[in-house]
Amino acid sequence: MRILIVSQYFWPENFRINDIALGLQERGHEIIVLTAYPNYPQGKFYNGYEGKPKVEIWNDIKIYRSKLISRGSGRGIRLFLNYISFALSGMLTSFRIKEDIDSILVFEPSPITVGIPAITAKFLKKAPISFWVQDLWPASLSAAGGVKNKFVLGIFDSLTRFIYKQSRFVLIQSRMFEQYIVDQGINRDKIKYLPNTTEDFYFPKSSAKYNDLLPQGFKIFFAGNLGEAQSLDTFVAAAKEVLDMGIAVHWIIIGDGRYKYTLEQSVKKLGLDNYVHFMGKYPPTEMADFFSYADALYVSLKKDYIFSLTIPSKIQSYLACGKPILASLDGEGARIIQEANAGFTSPAENSTELSQNIFKLFGLSNEEREQLGRNGLVYFEREFKREIVLDKIEVTLKIDSNK
């Protein structure tokens, strides 16, 4: 098949759709991508991406780039302009795609931005759409993007419903998304569960690569975007509570984001400078080396109904690395960790219960912690393995294209 992937985010930005594109190409499909100029998460364009829209080749994948307004701080009107500018420029870019298309796969953290270009491509190429929902709109726009205006949210809700109705299949990364989308007027028969997977460089590893960078002692790692949605203040408060219990725990923070400065100030105010270590950004390919030093891996989200329905994509990466997981979140993400028996969970934004779980994990033997990690890896291999997810995508797109 010749597959068009429509995504606002793509290489060199770090999103799972990059690896999905490579995986489908490995299976003999021709992949074409319609995407934007990269500017996530810093909010400014990457070097070399200025001027006119361009076409480039990455690993034999043809990429059509669209201009847009950069996301800046990632909030309010600037985020709105970022979304709308890509929706319009992406629609125009779809006219530049020369190739015939058999099937369209839409990767959707934000449906409006990719939906309009995808629907345009659908009618131009007479190819059906499979829409892979990563975030529920407009609720996620309000919870994570800070948009509160009811009129604006109503417009986005109407557009989201329209886009879903134009799709042959609506693919959901969490089973808990189904009822929300049904309530938006979408037929349950066209909704299919398609969880995220993770790249094959996430795996259990023994490494001495970062001995000189990391502190000695009990270490909990967090890797990813440092944003408000992650509710990282929760771990800072728990770190203080645990330290007051007389337990020295080192928190290794890998990543960047708009909340980093606020987080650093909180750490300094609470006197945690020697226990919270901001490592900066590293390529995803380095995470298995870092995680080899971990006694636990940490994931959290804000307390919000819409976040309780989602599965943070880092959960798959953490499970694949075979390490215990500490989670401060509600709903489906917590359920998976509990079902896998891969670690300990506490309610979102509850630093006291998180600190109690840290105390429990600290008190386990090495063998007990290793068993939690093995449990998680077994669960990953059964539920989220890359080849399993690629199989599901391939079957869906073949049905979609009737080929």
Token pair for 102: 């058999």
Q: What is the pTM of this model?
A: 0.90
CB 253 within 8 A of CB 276: yes
pLDDT at 73: 73
Residue 69 CB: number of other CB atoms within 10 A?
A: 18
pLDDT at 233: 96
Going from the first residue of the chain to its last (403 residues), give the mean pLDDT of each consecutive group of 10, the final group possibly shorter: 96 94 97 94 85 86 94 77 91 96 91 90 96 89 67 83 95 96 96 96 93 96 93 97 95 93 96 96 95 98 93 97 98 98 98 97 97 98 97 89 56
Alpha carbon of residue 341 to chain centroid: 22
Q: Which residues are 297's β-sheet partners?
A: 221, 325
Pure H helices in 137-184: 139-145, 150-165, 177-183
pLDDT at 79: 80
Phi, psi dihedrals of residue 399, rounded to the nearest 5°: -60, -45
Cβ-proximal residues to 79 (8 Å cutoff; 6+ apart), any chain: 71, 72, 145, 146, 147
CB 104 within 8 A of CB 80: no
Token pair for 273: 């400078």
- Write down all domains in the chain, each with its CATH number in brackets: 2-196+386-401 (3.40.50.2000), 218-383 (3.40.50.2000)
